[in-house]
Amino acid sequence: MAIPDTNTFSLQDVVNEIGPTTNDLIDCFADAVPGNFDPAYSGSTNELLNFRNYGAASSRIYYYNRGVSTGNWAIVGSGGTPPILTLESNYLSIIKSNGAFGYVSIRTDESFDSASINNLKKLNVILSVISFSGSTVLFLFTTINADGTGWSTSGDINLTGVLSPGGEVLYTASIVPASSSLYSGFKLNTNTVPPTTYEIRIHEIYYE
């Protein structure tokens, strides 16, 4: 059972979840599983509120998680001068160094039974903007239709306009699971209005 996604939980809640050697905050951090922290709240892992939503990740379905891609990523469309996509050790790097028009679409081919997603309500993306110069960029994170013939119009995360450089930001959209028994993959579109250059890092893409 995860720590609640609120700021009203107690140290005892954390102790009950972690089962530390001694019932204090220091040992809770020492005995915690790093991957169970919610990146939106983990901070410097030195205060109680860093445990907010701890353990919720165990119920997530990931497409990408800190350097690990689920399924086989493939470019399924590109045009103009597309950005360069690179799987780094801890993030998916997307760099557009030429301000000319260009886009790229990528997807994974992972499929999973609807029973594993029926209780999931949100599509989440954690990304950081390293640099941005220009007018407009569009990032569209979207699910594939259950029959695999197209892209879902519900549950899309659509980022448009000028993106400000900064730390990791969590973006979320509600999803409505389709009735088909099979879901297939995940797609990311990125497009630009010239002259625009940028460097974006994607840290996590998951359903919960």
Residue-wise pLDDT for 10-53, tens only, equals 999 999 989 998 999 999 999 988 778 887 788 888 899 999 98
* Residues comprising the chain, all counted: 208
Question: How far apart, in whole angstroms, are the C-alpha atoms of residue 182 and residue 195?
Answer: 40
Contact present, 201 and 93 (Cβ < 8 Å): yes
Per residue, the 3-state secondary structure of 124-147, as one string, reads EEEEEEEEEECCEEEEEEEEECCC
Place of tokens 């879901």: 183
Strand positions, DSSP E, 50-155: 61-65, 68-69, 73-80, 84-87, 92-96, 102-113, 122-133, 136-143
Cα gap 160→90, rounded to integer Å: 25
Q: Which fold has domain 61-207?
A: Jelly Rolls (2.60.120)
80: alpha, beta or left? (left if phi > 0; alpha if psi -120 to 50)? left
- The domain locations on the chain are 11-59, 61-207
pLDDT confidence tier of residue 181, bands split at 50, 70 and 90? very low
CA distance 30 to 156: 38
Q: Please state the rounded mean pLDDT for residues 61-84.
A: 82
Cα–Cα dist 98/191, whole Å: 12
pLDDT in tens, 110-169: 665 555 555 566 778 899 999 999 888 888 887 765 555 555 656 678 888 888 999 889
Q: What pTM value is reported for the model?
A: 0.69
